[in-house]
Amino acid sequence: MAVGPFPGERATGSLGHKPTTSISSVTSTCSPRPFSRPSNLSRPLFGEIIPVCDLYSIANVVVFPSSPSSLSSSPPQSPSRPYSQQHGTGTGTVSHENTPPSPFIEALQNIGLGSPSWSASAISVFTIILPTANGYVTRSDFLKLRLQDFPYKILRSYEPLRPLQKYIATSPTPGPVTSEYDLASLVDSAAGVVQWEDLPTSVSFVDLEVYRTRLTEELRDRLHNAPWLSSTPIPRKRVALIRGRPNITAGGPVYRAAKALGLDLVIVDEEGHWLQADTEENKMHREAFLGTDMTEDAGVVDRIIESIVSYPLPIHGVFTLSDNFFVAVAQVAEALGLPASPVSAFETSVDKYRSRLLQNVPGQTARVSSVEELESLLSAGSSQQAEFIPRFPVIVKPTKGWSSECVSKVNNLGDLATAVQKATSRHGSAAVIEPFFDGPEMDVNFVLLDGEILFSEIADEPPCDADSRSATVHSTFSPEALTLPSALPSDEQDIAKSTLRDILVNIGFCTGVFHVEARMVNSSFEYRKQDDVVDLVRKHSQSLPDSGAECKLIEINARPPGYRVTVPTRHTYGVDYFVAHMLAAAGDKNRLRLTTKPYAHVLGDNINDAQRGAQYWSRLVYIPAPAAGTVQWPSKLAPCEALKRQRPDLADKIVLGVDYCVPGDKVELYTDGARTYVAHLLVVSRESRKDVIRLGDEVQKAFAIDVEAPSKASSELSDGETMVDLDGDGSE
């Protein structure tokens, strides 16, 4: 029996390689050494120290289920034969219970790894993580973050470091470990230890060597110079979150990130918020709750300031994830002298008319407060007529809004009033009329430090209903999926990043996390169906644009993307936007730089391509409500779980599934002009982008949720909440 390939690989041999005839032939520059027997081990073990980058070494340890005398100091005669055939191990073999105590095994058991009774029919593999220099812990869950969705199954892991504590590094010499006591000492001083899923004794020595090589290479890509430790002490700080999250699903990643960073979190929100009660569970999520009247009026800034000033302990930063509190929180930070971007920058970003003027098209952008004002603007006698001449199609949207709510694409003058009426009815704001920019839509996310891009990614948003040529004023811009990393050519990605970064810096945003939506006009790529998959592909030569590509801003969100998008980025790239957002708010520039290093993986064949950093292709699939009515779960299982059980062929491709509704919740097809979502799932592929899109399409088709029409719903069901915005504030 051979060890299987990494998920997504096509096996051409025992591990996706052609069969080999010698152990050394499968090694590479970062490969482990071939097996040899250390002279003084009291257990059948093999351990080796391997440097994987400047910041880390690892110790891979293999525990064999056989007596020490069965190991040979030279390569086996038949490397392709199973280990059990060469050494007679298997069911019925004497276990280790009668052998002397093993220091290494005892050290593992002391930290909760290994097994009290070692199996005689399996090979155990452990990896010890060893930073190469002393330092202070930037985040206590670093190893968990970097190893998420690892291609080989992790049975258990040990991560003993506390946030901010000092770690003293060991400097073991690379090469085989010659003492079990040395291995035990490494366990005691490790920053982390991982126990991988056991291998069968039927595995050949060649396959076992390939397994260790692959394991080492994968760890190298995940740990590659990503700092876990700071060379200088990290002062403990306290930050205030203005408006706590509406539920644990949306808030959990924020609270857990604060805890891992060693940031004390104070919540400022309305009386009666679910985090207010001083329960043991709530205390795990926040240090304190400051009940405050959050009515959005002229006095809200003063009330927030009063709550913060009255708190007996110092607060070093304030932040929010709620779009409608950006300006207020910036004003609070300014009044208290806390780190934040200028108030004027937030005032520009939240006003879609003002942000549109950053790339103004003369005569094609207008702002109106009512249909009557629109009619006046368009009337023949209007003095403004020469200033505004709409060229259809145009976009009409609220100057204040989010999640594509009440955004309309208008193809003719007759529908303009309908769109303006819809936009001005949302949030009591005016409507902005602006050009429709035709081209691939994208989300461009930044982590900036003093104007420098520490990390940036582009995700592709496939065409939605309103992008269709047959779209009407009632069609929506609600997204259906998001694909990471982008398929746009690297030069167009560079244009997008440089254009949008300059816009951010020019209006005053220099440090923080920013979620920017844009379109690439005159792109050399377009969405087209090819090989049964709709994706970005290069345009036919006759369709290539005459002029160069341009990036056109849609809107600026001075925050991380919402929960639905931030968590997939953490899975795909290993970068946590919530962590970066809080560190920016606390003014912790050192850790902001240290915590934004993506993986070192490369997708595809070009090592210089723009896809560096993603461990796989991922597709975030949005599930819209199939009908209006009351949610039911006939199988008694949540729909995401039911899908995985009914389609085991898809289950291992779904790394994240979140249901928004429970039985009894009432949903509508649309909420404020946007589709109502009932779930989202993150689907991944290590094979290709085409494969992940195909998988996403399969998941979307297979997902099932029952919604009973209002006339059929039982009157005994409790009134539920319409589920459209998981974050409760408009963020995705």
What does the pLDDT read at residue 10? Answer: 39
Pairing of β 238-242 and β 229-230: unpaired
Q: Which stretches of 517-576 are DSSP H helices?
A: 563-573
Which run of H or of E encompasses 135? strand 135-137
Q: Average of pLDDT values for 285-290? A: 98
CATH number of 350-435: 3.30.1490.20
User: Residue 2 pLDDT > 70, yes or no?
Assistant: no
CATH number of 441-594: 3.30.470.20
Q: CA 300, CA 307: separation in Å to the nearest integer?
A: 11
Q: CA 468, CA 481: separation in Å to the nearest integer?
A: 16
Amino acid at 395: I
Q: CA 449, CA 511: separation in Å to the nearest integer?
A: 4
Higher pLDDT, 589 or 715: 589
**Tokens representing residue 584 in the block:** 């920016």
Question: pLDDT tier at 184 (50, 70, 90 boundaries)?
Answer: very high
Phi/psi for 352 (5° steps) reads -70, -20
User: Residue 402 pLDDT > 80, yes or no?
Assistant: no
Amino acid at 71: L
pLDDT in tens, 85-97: 554 443 333 344 4
Question: pLDDT tier at 427 (50, 70, 90 boundaries)?
Answer: low
The DSSP call for residue 383 is T
Higher pLDDT, 83 or 391: 391
Q: CA 710, CA 490: separation in Å to the nearest integer?
A: 50
Q: CA 44, CA 62: separation in Å to the nearest integer?
A: 8
What does the pLDDT read at residue 609? Answer: 54
What does the pLDDT read at residue 392? Answer: 92
**Tokens representing residue 137 in the block:** 């812990």
What does the pLDDT read at residue 713? Answer: 42
Mean pLDDT of the chain: 87
The segment with the largest mean pLDDT, out of 10-24, 450-464, 713-727, is: 450-464
The counts of H helices and E strands in the chain are 20, 33
How many residues does this entry show for the chain?
A: 732
User: Residue 14 pLDDT > 50, yes or no?
Assistant: no
Half-sphere exposure of 633 (CA within 13 A, CB side): 17
Provide the CATH topology of domain 238-340: Rossmann fold (3.40.50)
What does the pLDDT read at residue 102? Answer: 83
Q: CA 579, CA 665: separation in Å to the nearest integer?
A: 32
Q: CA 41, CA 62: separation in Å to the nearest integer?
A: 12
Q: Average of pLDDT values for 160-169? A: 98
Domain ranges of the chain: 23-230, 238-340, 350-435, 441-594, 617-708
Pairing of β 192-196 and β 154-158: antiparallel
User: Residue 724 pLDDT > 90, yes or no?
Assistant: no
User: Residue 487 pLDDT > 70, yes or no?
Assistant: yes
Which are the contacts of 512, defined by CB distance < 8 A and separation ≥ 6? 341, 447, 448, 558, 580, 581, 584, 585
The DSSP call for residue 726 is T
Q: CA 64, CA 79: separation in Å to the nearest integer?
A: 16
Q: CA 570, CA 105: separation in Å to the nearest integer?
A: 34
With H, G, I as helix, E, B as strand and everything else as coil, classify residue 410.
Answer: strand
Q: CA 521, CA 610: separation in Å to the nearest integer?
A: 19
Q: CA 481, CA 483: separation in Å to the nearest integer?
A: 7
Span between the terminal Cα atoms of the chain, in Å:
46
Q: CA 104, CA 107: separation in Å to the nearest integer?
A: 5
Amino acid at 672: D
**Tokens representing residue 355 in the block:** 């942000």
With H, G, I as helix, E, B as strand and everything else as coil, classify residue 542.
Answer: helix
With H, G, I as helix, E, B as strand and everything else as coil, classify residue 617.
Answer: strand
What does the pLDDT read at residue 538? Answer: 96
Q: Average of pLDDT values for 670-692? A: 93
314: nearest Cα among 293, 352, 287, 291: 287
What pTM, to 2 d.p., does this model score? 0.90
pLDDT in tens, 344-394: 999 999 999 999 999 987 788 999 999 999 998 988 555 544 578 889 999
Quick one: the chain helix, strand, coil %, rounded to 5? 30, 25, 45
With H, G, I as helix, E, B as strand and everything else as coil, classify residue 452.
Answer: strand
**Cα angle 421-425-431, degrees, rounded to a multiple of 5:** 65
pLDDT in tens, 601-617: 998 765 445 557 999 99
Q: CA 102, CA 119: separation in Å to the nearest integer?
A: 15
Instruction: Check: CB of residue 641 under 8 Å from CB of residue 601.
Output: no
What does the pLDDT read at residue 563? Answer: 83
Question: pLDDT tier at 35 (50, 70, 90 boundaries)?
Answer: low
**Tokens representing residue 538 in the block:** 């290069």
CATH number of 617-708: 3.90.1170.30
Q: CA 144, CA 166: separation in Å to the nearest integer?
A: 19
Higher pLDDT, 24 or 31: 31
What does the pLDDT read at residue 77? Answer: 40
Sheet containing strand 229-230, edge to edge, reads: 166-167, 135-137, 229-230
User: Residue 207 pLDDT > 50, yes or no?
Assistant: yes
